[in-house]
Amino acid sequence: MKLSTASFFSVLLFSTLPALRVCAQSAQSFNLVQESSGSTFFDKWDFAPNDATFDQENNGDVFFNTKDQVSNAADGQKLAFINSNGNAVLRVDNFTNVLFPNKRNSTRITSQTQFGIGSLIITDMLHIPFGCAVWPSFWTKGANWPQDGEIDIIEGVNKNPQNQMALHATAGCMHSQITDLTLQSGKAGELNCNATGNVGCTVQETQPNSFGQSFAQNGGGVFATQFDSSGFSIWFWPRANVPASIKGSDSKSPISISDFGTPSASFPNTADGCDIPKFFDAQTLVIETTLCGDWAGAVYLDSGCATGPAPTSTAPGTQPTDVAKTACYNQQVLGPASAFDNAFFEIQWLRVYAAPNTPAATATGGSNSSTGSPTTASGSSQNTGKAPGAAIQIDVPLGLATFAA
Ligand SMILES: *[C@@H]1O[C@H](CO)[C@@H](O)[C@H](O)[C@H]1NC(C)=O
Ligand SMILES: *[C@@H]1O[C@H](CO)[C@@H](O)[C@H](O)[C@H]1NC(C)=O
Ligand SMILES: *[C@@H]1O[C@H](CO)[C@@H](O)[C@H](O)[C@H]1NC(C)=O
């Protein structure tokens, strides 16, 4: 593991202050570190660094707009804005007839601050992007991937009805087998969090209305993620079940997690689990929507979204997932823009809290300028990116031109 300043600090905390792991439990209250809401929602986030930023991390068929592009777009064509209800909207272009070989515009924002062990991240959303080819995610990543870890809090593709949560780390981080439903209500999939070898360790939400159209129709809900040396917990509450502590909180009040109940996903730091401080460094928050690519595209032909036969290719080395990704691009990204009317986040607020007496929870942001910068078409050492859902990773950036119909 690369010894960045922050990771050194985590290791130090872990090795010298073990008592914190014990007391960092539910009875205490967490103090607000940062809030994004209302007209200043986007102030502490970065957009794409330049207008050639395509989704190289996931081989998605989108260009991410820069802050200037978003600001300068005509009314009705802004991909990020604060709506009349004071909520932040981040969306995919649903007004341009995109022509081959272009990609569709979308949005990706990354937090300017990194949040370490001891953090509690809570967001209240009314709408998560959904639809064919659509792949939204709210996730976090360390400065180096996968050495510093990745947490997927909200993620899904195409017509998936449920949210999927996951961790990605280097080899040696496992998800403990949890059968006690009072510890984790979700359904575990892959248990090996090894990012190199597989899809990461996944947990499927089992409560209804966690994703897609039903999430929006049900009035949305709240997601909370606790990043603790004793483990990660991710909670989801549909609108009617949001706990009193959250409903009663505002941008100033500390918050207690004693009424949070059973998390949807729990990744404990146990002997058969994951040594969290070893595998996870301070995390940059990311909210983005991509199209097709390594997950939504790779599974497209089996997603119930295909509108015609897959393209055929005799090009040597063509993989089935390449064919699926191309079908996704041809049939959806180039298709009518109205297919993306539901491809938007509407976020009421996002708050980050820190447990008391956990110095590592102090935001480390600002000092490390390379941390959390979105990938660019020009490529950089950070462009190893994430591998959220695809079992097979094939590098086909801009390769769609090779066998479009
Ligand atoms: C993407 O957005 C920019 C800025 O609004 C615009 O100039 C460009 O034409 C858009 N690209 C596509 C493919 O729609
Ligand atoms: C992690 O994945 C890599 C690449 O597939 C593999 O070589 C390694 O054995 C895996 N390690 C573990 C512990 O799963
Ligand atoms: C794009 O979608 C929004 C809803 O997200 C809708 O209000 C708007 O009319 C759509 N734009 C076009 C051009 O259809």
pLDDT digits (tens, 9 = 90+) for 44-62: 999 999 998 999 999 999 9
- From atom 3 of ligand 1, which residue's Cα is the shortest distance away? 69
Mutate to test the pocket of ligand 2, among 173, 194, 274 (most ligand atoms within 8 A of CB): 194
- Omega prior to 309 cis, within 30 of 0: no
pLDDT of residue 305: 97
Q: Which ligand is nearest to the CA of 68?
A: 1
Residue 254's contacts (CB-CB under 8 Å, 6 or more residues apart) are: 29, 30, 31, 32, 353
How far away, in angstroms, is 165 Cα from ligand 2 center?
A: 21
Ligand 1 binding pocket mutation candidate from 54, 55, 63 (most atoms within 8 A of CB): 63
Q: How far is the CA of 274 from the centre of ligand 2 (A)?
A: 15
Average pLDDT over residues 336-355: 96
Q: Which residue puts its alpha carbon closest to atom 8 of ligand 3?
A: 341
| 3-43 pLDDT tens trace | 122 222 232 233 333 333 333 445 579 999 999 999 999 99
Q: Which ligand is nearest to the CA of 94?
A: 3
The answer on pLDDT for 389 being more than 70 is no
Residue 140: both structure tokens together: 């976090």
Ligand lying nearest the CA atom of residue 131: 3
Binding-site residues, ligand 2, Cβ < 6 A: 171-172, 192, 194, 196-197
Q: Catalytic annotation on 346?
A: no
β-pairing, 150-155 with 134-141? antiparallel
pLDDT value for 366: 38
Ligand 2 midpoint to CA 385 (Å) = 18
Tell me the DSSP string of 345-400: EEEEEEEEEE-TT-GGGS--TTS-TTTTPPP-TT--TTTT----S-SS----TTGG
Q: Separation of 341 CA from ligand 3 center, angstroms?
A: 5
CA of 47 to the centre of ligand 3 (A): 22
The model's pLDDT over 193-213, given as tens digits with 9 standing for 90+, comes to 998 767 899 999 999 999 999
Residue minimizing CA distance to atom 2 of ligand 3? 341
Give how far Cα 131 sits from Cα of 31, 98, 289, 328, Å.
37, 17, 11, 12
Other beta carbons within 10 angstroms of residue 368's beta carbon come to 16
> What are 89-105's pLDDT values in tens digits?
999 999 999 999 999 99
pLDDT of residue 79 exceeding 50: yes
- 208-223 CB burial, b ≥16 within 10 A, e <16: ebbbbeebbeeebbbb
Residue 319 has pLDDT above 70, yes or no: yes
Residue 359 pLDDT class (50, 70, 90 cuts)? low
- Residue 163's nearest CA partner among 207, 200, 131, 198 is 207
- The answer to whether 131 and 340 are in contact (CB under 8 A) is yes
Cα–Cα distance list, 324 to 242, 294, 301, 313, 339 (Å): 38, 10, 6, 11, 18
pLDDT confidence tier of residue 361, bands split at 50, 70 and 90: very low
Average of pLDDT values for 227-241? Answer: 97
Q: Decide if pLDDT at 245 tops 90.
A: yes
355 and 28 Cβ atoms separated by less than 8 Å: yes
Q: Which of 35, 57, 150, 346 is catalytic?
A: 150
**Exposed (0-12), middle (13-18) or buried (19+): which is 182, by Cβ within 10 Å?**
exposed
Q: Residues with Cβ within 6 A of ligand 1? A: 63, 65, 69, 73, 93, 96, 98, 102, 105
CA-nearest residue, atom 6 of ligand 1: 69
Regarding beta strands 62-64 and 104-106, do their DSSP bridges make them parallel or antiparallel, or are they unpaired? parallel
Distance CA 156, CA 135 (A): 6
The pLDDT-based confidence of 387 (bands split at 50, 70, 90) is: very low
Of the ligands numbered here, which is closest to the C-alpha atom of 337?
A: 3
Q: Which of 35, 57, 155, 288 does the annotation list as catalytic?
A: 155
* Nearest atom in ligand 2 to 170's CA: 1
Residue 296, CA distances (Å) to 62, 127, 305, 345 in order: 13, 19, 10, 17
Strands 80-82 and 29-37: unpaired
Backbone phi, psi, residue 324, to 5°? -65, -45
- Closest C-alpha residue for ligand 3 atom 12: 95
In angstroms, rounded to a whole number, what is the distance separating the alpha carbons of residues 266 and 207?
Answer: 15
Q: Residues with beta carbon inside 6 Å of ligand 3?
A: 94-95, 338, 341, 344
Q: For residue 105, how far is its CA from the centre of ligand 1 (angstroms)?
A: 6
